[in-house]
Structures are given as C-alpha cells and as structure tokens.
Amino acid sequence: MTIARKLYIKTYGCQMNVYDSERMAEALGGQGYVETTTPDDADMILLNTCHIREKAAEKVYSELGRFRSLKAERPDLKIGVAGCVAQAEGEEILRRQPLVDLVVGPQSYHRLPELAEKARNGARALDTDFPEQDKFDHLSARPKARRGPSAFLTVQEGCDKFCAFCVVPYTRGAEVSRPAERVIAETRDLVERGVREITLLGQNVNAYHGHPGGLAGLVRALSAIDGLARIRYTTSHPNDMDDALIAAHGEVPELMPYLHLPVQSGSDRVLKAMNRKHNAEAYLRLVERIRAARPDILLSGDFIVGFPGESAEDFEATLALVDAVEYGQCYSFKYSPRPGTPAAERPQVPEAEKDERLQRLQTLLRTQQRAVQDRMVGRETDVLFEKPGRTPGQMVGKSEHLHSVFVTGPGIARGELRRVRIAESATNSLRGELLEPMHAVR
C-alpha cells in the first residue's frame, strides 16, 4: 500500500494565487501528494508568493528561515517557492536559502510534478521561464470532489499596461487569455460539483480576449449554464471597460452588481506619472456610464497615497474624486518602491506625509463604506450562504453586492440562495432576517 505524501501550501496575496495554489495541489496530486493544514508533518512545503506588498521578498526569506529547524530534523523534507517572488528572485532564492529545493514561477507550475521529482532525487530545481504553451493545457483534469458554493477561476493573466509602480508585467508576463471553450468547460465542471458563484480572475481581466465578444461575451456564455447563479470578475482597468461589458451589467441578471475598478489617484499629474493612461475626468464619466446601466452597482477601488512627487494638492484631488464616486468598498496603501519599476528610482515622499495622507483617506473611505451599508437596512437581498457563523444556528453568506450577511434561522444549508431582509448594519457586515424561500435558481 502506497503511503500518501503530505503537501503544505501557504498562499500569499490575491485571489489568483488562491486559484494557482488549488491547481498546484491538483498537479502534485498525481504524484500521491495530499494536502495538510500544517507544515509540521509535511513532506513538501510550498510558499506561493506575491510581490505586490512592501518588502515581499524579505518576508519570504524570513518565512523560509522558520523552516530551518524542520529541515534539520527531516532532511527529506522538500521546500519550494512559487509565484511572483519566485519569478522576480529566481536563482537568488537558491543562493540565499540553501534549504530551498525548488523555485517555480507562476507561468510554469504545470511543470511542478517533474520539478518535485527532480528535487526528490536530490537535485535543486528552477523554472522561471515564460513558456509559449498554455500551462492550463498541461494540467490534469480537476478532481470531482464536491466544492463550496463559490469558486475562483483564472481566465486571463499578465498585463501590458506597465504602470510605473507595478511589477506584474515583469513577474506574470504579457497579457494572455484562456480560450472561452475551456473556461466554459471548467465552469460546468465546477457547477456540477456544487459551485453556484464564479469569480473570473485576471490581472487585467476586462482585457480578456479569449471570446469573440471579449469579457462581456464570456459572461453571457457562462450565464447560460444551468445552476450557475452568480458571476463576478476582478481586477479591471478603466481603459478596458468597453460598452459591451457596461451593457452586460444592466442586461445579465447573473452578473452581480459589484465592480472593482481601481483608479489609484484623483490627480491627473500623478496619474500621468503612474502611466495609467487615463485621467480623473475620464474615470468619473466612466462611473456615470456604469451606474446608468446598473444604478444599484457597488463600486470598489484601489488607491496609492504618497506616490513619488505627489503634492498636498494632488492628494486633495484624490479626496475629491472619492467624494464624487462614493465607494462601497476600497483598498488603500502607502506607496512603497518595487525594485525594477520606474517609480522606484524617483524621489520619495516622506513617510510621515504618507502616513498622514493614508489615515485621512481611510477615514473618508470607511465613512463611505458604512453609509452604503447603512442604506441597505430595510432592503431585501439574495444571500448565498457559505459557512456557519460564530453562534448556534447562524450562517454567513454574501449578498449580491459582496457584503457579508449573518442570518440566524432554522434549516439554512451551505450553498443555498435565500431571500433576506437586512435588519442591521455592523462593522464590515450586515445582519439579515430570512424571508420566504426564494424561487428556484437555474
């Protein structure tokens, strides 16, 4: 009887890394690996890394240092680094950390089985190429186990925009899109295993071109799948938000009224320095068009404060744009240099000014988020229940607008879509009360 090898994967960063980790686990499943929740009893440890956050590489080296004692106790333990830090650092990881057995970039994880075998035979393995073939074509079919009610699905990778602050074009490569027929087939498979909601992922997902109708065409095709109740997508670039996709928000009921549309700054001068290729006015007019198509849409965004050269007036322009849009959710960060990007070589804004600006921006964003939530009180919404809450009989789910909704009531099943009236707004969540079971969803 073959003893299963245990695999521990620690995932950093975005939803695309979550999806990648799932597929890496599946790729190694053919070699007899099963996932474990702790590194202590693992036969292989994989760190699936992200290069977006500040000092990302140093944090990975620090994490690797924590495994030194495990490696000393069990020399057969294999340790790998995957993802964007692996792509950026490459051979440097092997040089700085002798305990690492394999390094694999995000476009090569379909080669994990052969890299793992090479490591098991005592050699150190490195693959950070950008292969011409589609990695998804070489992955084994996804296992047929039941899934939770929501799932991520990567449809597009890479970016051609070259924003001055961003490492994605260097770590993920040029924009590539998966063919629509493969995305549709994978979606059907997920739905058959219990998935009701799909979030389509891409570094620049609305630049998707694997369907003749672009992302809008893919959304319309997926909406015809029986049993798929909800579709979302992230992350978008304003310049690729075309008329067809805007129209889909108003015409496709399965496309949820939530849109993450990063702008990064409200200052035209800073946007030009960032190489965003749009200005604040164009972004605001785009928001108007989207809301005309879907008036109840909740908008989310990203903001960077303290970008090199940002003045007090530039920051005030960002606050003015936030006031004009009124976001329901948002992510905001202090600028931090990424080695190899154009902005990293420019004069930096003092940290104290970054801190003060970030605090002011986040205060405004929190106020807006709470106001949007408070307006939900008394309204009805459909909630897809995903997991038990903290108290007996409580279940937690997501509304159409991606709000977390807590409901206490009998007979709520995981994966069930129910009609709820919002009774209370709390910090980062809503409390709801069940109404009559909603009509059956295809």
**Residue list, annotated binding site for [4Fe-4S] cluster:** 14, 50, 84, 159, 163, 166
Backbone phi and psi for residue 116, each to the nearest 5 degrees, phi listed first: -65, -40
Q: Which residues are annotated as a binding site?
A: 14, 50, 84, 159, 163, 166
Grouping H, G, I as helix, E, B as strand and the rest as coil, residue 7 is strand
Strand 33-35 relative to strand 5-11: parallel, antiparallel, unpaired? parallel
β partners of residue 268: none
AA letter at 78: K
Rounded to 5°, angle at Cα 18 from 16 and 22: 115
How far is it, in rounded angstroms, from Cα 96 to Cα 312? Answer: 41
Burial of 441 (0-12, 13-18, 19+ CB in 10 A): middle
Buried b or exposed e, range 95-106, using 16+ CB within 10 angstroms = eebebbbbbbbb
Distance spanning both ends of the chain, measured CA to CA:
44
Name the residue with tokens 């990424």. 338
Separate counts of helices (H) and strands (E) for the chain: 14, 19
β partners of residue 176: 157
Which one, of 97, 86, 82, lies nearest residue 48 by Cα? Answer: 82
Which one, of 276, 280, 184, lies nearest residue 236 by Cα? Answer: 276
Show the tokens assigned to 363.
Answer: 């205060």
How far is it, in rounded angstroms, from Cα 381 to Cα 164? Answer: 40
User: From the CB of residue 231, how many other CB atoms can be counted at a distance below 10 Å?
Assistant: 23
Show the tokens assigned to 368.
Answer: 């807006």
AA letter at 373: Q
